[in-house]
């Protein structure tokens, strides 16, 4: 009773994992380039919306965050595009998405409806939709980090 016959071929885990890491990396880079660009081009709106949030620290640091958040997103993108710093880019991306999720929880708990400061089409989501979206991206980034090889040798799937 050694081997069991199955109807489907075995999954090649390394290629599957490599593909997922590449897909998550590309998606995250596109997402951050898009939202960072929108935040920088609409700096006054981005800062103004943050200043409406009922959190004193956020109100006072909004002008600084207006630059820091999109620049951090772009720094994550730059790291994601280099083999040497891709793991750091995934970590930065995970930290950013986690902080955005925390912000969303604060918004949901405040009971005050304020517009999203995410930028672009992402702003059209409701707060609960944002939380689900961010949760999915956080889960994918966590998997990508777990599956990213520590020796930086990630080959192109094919």
Counted residue by residue, the chain has a size of 158
Alpha-carbon span 32 to 75, nearest angstrom? 9
Alpha-carbon span 95 to 114, nearest angstrom? 23
**Residue of higher predicted confidence among 139 and 15:** 139
pTM score of the predicted model: 0.83
Weakest mean pLDDT among 8-22, 33-47, 56-70, 108-122: 8-22
pLDDT score for 2: 52
Alpha-carbon span 127 to 107, nearest angstrom? 8
Kindly report, residue by residue over 97-154, the tens digit of the pLDDT: 999 999 889 888 888 777 777 766 777 888 889 999 999 999 999 999 999 877 655 4
pLDDT score for 157: 43
Query: Between vectors from CA 58 to CA 141 and to CA 101, what angle results, nearest 5°?
Result: 25
pLDDT score for 158: 40
pLDDT score for 38: 92
**Residue of higher predicted confidence among 32 and 11:** 32
Q: Which residues contact 142 (CB under 8 A, 6 or more apart)?
A: 94
Kindly report, residue by residue over 66-106, the tens digit of the pLDDT: 999 999 999 999 999 998 999 999 999 999 999 999 988 98
Q: For residue 3, is pLDDT > 70? A: no
**For the CA atoms of the chain, what is the radius of gyration?**
19
pLDDT score for 43: 95
């Amino acid at each position: 009773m050694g081997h069991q016959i199955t109807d489907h071929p075995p999954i090649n885990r390394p290629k599957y994992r490599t593909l997922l890491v590449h897909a998550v990396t590309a998606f995250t880079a596109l997402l951050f380039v898009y939202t960072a660009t929108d935040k920088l081009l609409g700096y006054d709106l981005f800062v103004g919306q943050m200043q409406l949030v009922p959190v004193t620290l956020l109100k006072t640091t909004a002008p600084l965050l207006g630059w820091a958040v999109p620049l951090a997103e772009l720094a994550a993108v730059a790291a994601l595009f280099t083999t040497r710093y891709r793991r750091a880019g995934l970590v930065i991306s995970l930290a950013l998405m986690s902080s955005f999720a925390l912000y969303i929880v604060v918004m949901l708990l405040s009971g005050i409806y304020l517009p999203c400061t995410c930028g672009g089409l992402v702003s059209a989501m409701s707060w609960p939709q944002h939380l689900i979206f961010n949760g999915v991206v956080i889960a994918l980034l966590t998997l990508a980090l777990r599956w990213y090889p520590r020796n930086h040798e990630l080959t192109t799937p094919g």
